[in-house]
Structure 1
Amino acid sequence: MPTWRSPAGRSPALRRFAESATLGRSVDLLSQFRFEQTDPARFYGAVARDTVDLTNALWTQSTGTDLRDALVLDVGGGPGYFEDAFAELGATYIPVEPDPAEAHAAGLTATRGIRGSGLALPVADGAVDVCLSSNVAEHVPDPWAMGAEMLRVTRPGGLMILSYTLWYGPFGGHEMGLTHYAGGARAARWYARRHGRPPKNLYGTSLFKVTAADGLRWAQTVTGAHLVAAFPRYHPAWAWWIVRIPGLRELLASNLVLVFVKE
């Protein structure tokens, strides 16, 4: 039986992270989202710390060791907001980013950044210990092709962590707010009319409808790796059960994390 059908908190892969997935953590992260556009360093700093905590907990649960000396590839990592946080644990962090503007955003440039597409990663097979992607899958036209590429570059025994924003959740429209419930194209038109410019995350071009059901269905087709956890990233552990409820998970999960171990 796939892990995601069982109570999420019972998954062995999640046991360590569940200890830190408290209501206080959820409230703190939620409070940071309003700074994504106005103060990205503050927003991404908070997300970076949480991403490292999540990755380290999953890695430690899987391998019995922390991330020291691990090679971490971050697909869609922008300018490397997460680099310092991973370096504190002794991990080598490499972001992959296709857009030069994003790769140099906020005056940052990662020391080991790679320019490339998540749909065709310029990385050898089985080259990294951990391949992760945080809130990127909803911005590519074929997120599951990206997922397959992420698994390709992960070494046997390594982790692939794919975390993405759900379209029908409250943050699915990104800066368009809740207007995305009226349809992505309509929400984009309303945003442009109000602000005099199109949204950064333009529906159908740089923002796409991706659901929890999509990801869970894809996970069932994956070969050469097995799904060890699926849970709502920003929720406290006691609320992870919502991933098991079709429909409800689309509205309330907000962000789904799929965790695979490469065989």
Structure 2
Amino acid sequence: MITDPVHRSDVLRHVARRATFGRSLGLLRSFPQEQSDPDVFYSGLARDTVELVGDLWEGAGGKTGAGGGGRAVGAVGAGAGGGGRLQGLTVLDVGGGPGYFSEAYAAEGARYVSVEPDVGEMAAAGITQAGSVRGSGMALPIRSDSVDVCISSNVAEHVPEPWTMAEEMCRVTRPGGVVVVSYTLWYGPFGGHEMGLTHYLGGDRARRMYERKHGHRPKNYYGESLFEVGCAEGLEWARSTRSADLLAAFPRYHPRWAWWLVRVPGVREALVSNLVLVLRAR
């Protein structure tokens, strides 16, 4: 087991090249548009996510078309057309939402399947997507060892048992495949989502403050669809699971020079913002 996942240069070398201040600034500017202009927010995030997956697949030593997962779930997946770094691979997106990611993965040649528990969320953007399956991330309706890459992007903070979901992600990924768990930390500046920084006053209080100000419930309702999840617990799960080997951990939206924050207890909970755990399934 590795002791310093931040500095696994063989896994992160591709990601590091893109982890610039300009990229971080661009993503930061798009975050406030999640509710007001979801097309702008999610389209940009989809492109960045697919690039991230391609980088991690190459960094982990994956080979295009190496897996057999496409045969297991390919019947429901979005087609693997064209070329790209993920050509022929089956990618399972846990909590894929309203379909913004499908075209971005297809452009890289992947067979794309998403699992989403909320029918309303699946149809929110009015996007027709053939590869969506309704189901819970904590009990994935997918055959074991059937996908090459399994990713959850900003999902773990929305389920009551995030590490049950992470174990399920490892289960459905073939041995040698890549599992990517990326999630927002509660004590980071975006932990409260649309509730803003009021989450530092406590989740229940932040929820009540939002309701008084806006006259309706927040989309991400603390205690029901938004939970406190930290950096240390994610690292602890990733280092202790018997289902996969931890390859790397780093802050998703930070420039490369700030990746060291993951190694500092306490500080990382507030300043990492979004943690990425990269594992190779056993």
TM tier relative to shorter chain: over 0.9
8 Å CA contact 2:179–2:279 kept in 1: the answer is yes
Instruction: Give the TM-score taking structure 1 as reference length.
Output: 0.97
2:164 corresponding residue in structure 1: 145
Cα distance in 1 for partners of 2:63, 2:10 equals 13
Deviation at 1:9, TM superposition (A): 4.1
Matching residue's letter, 1:132: I
Secondary structure of the equivalent of 2:100?
coil
Cα distance in 2 for partners of 1:59, 1:162 equals 14
Matching residue's letter, 2:22: G
8 Å CA contact 2:174–2:281 kept in 1: the answer is yes
Match of 1:78 among 93, 97, 105: 97
Question: Any residues of structure 2 matched to 1:252-263 within 5 Å, and which?
Answer: 252-263=271-282
Deviation at 1:11, TM superposition (A): 3.2
Instruction: Give the TM-score taking structure 2 as reference length.
Output: 0.90
Gaps of 5+ in 1: none
Cα distance in 2 for partners of 1:75, 1:109 equals 18
Cα distance in 1 for partners of 2:129, 2:248 equals 30
Match of 1:121 among 137, 140, 154: 140
Cα distance in 2 for partners of 1:136, 1:114 equals 16
Secondary structure of the equivalent of 1:82?
helix
Secondary structure of the equivalent of 1:30?
helix
Alignment partner of 1:210 is 2:208:
no
Deviation at 1:224, TM superposition (A): 3.0
Cα distance in 2 for partners of 1:202, 1:92 equals 32
8 Å CA contact 2:171–2:243 kept in 1: the answer is no
Gaps of 5+ in 2: 65-84
Secondary structure of the equivalent of 1:145?
helix
Aligned length: 261
Matching residue's letter, 1:2: I
Cα distance in 1 for partners of 2:229, 2:156 equals 8
8 Å CA contact 2:167–2:243 kept in 1: the answer is no
Deviation at 1:109, TM superposition (A): 3.0
Question: Any residues of structure 2 matched to 1:79-228 within 5 Å, and which?
Answer: 79-228=98-247
Deviation at 1:95, TM superposition (A): 0.9
Secondary structure of the equivalent of 1:58?
helix
Q: What stretches of structure 1 move > 2 A for 4+ residues in a row? A: none
Q: Percent identity?
A: 60
Deviation at 1:121, TM superposition (A): 0.4
Deviation at 1:250, TM superposition (A): 0.6
Distance 1:143 1:107, change over 3 A: same
1:46 corresponding residue in structure 2: 44
Cα shift readout 1:235-263 (whole Å, capped 9, x = no counterpart): 01111000000011111100000000012
Deviation at 1:110, TM superposition (A): 1.6
2:9 corresponding residue in structure 1: 11
Matching residue's letter, 2:54: N
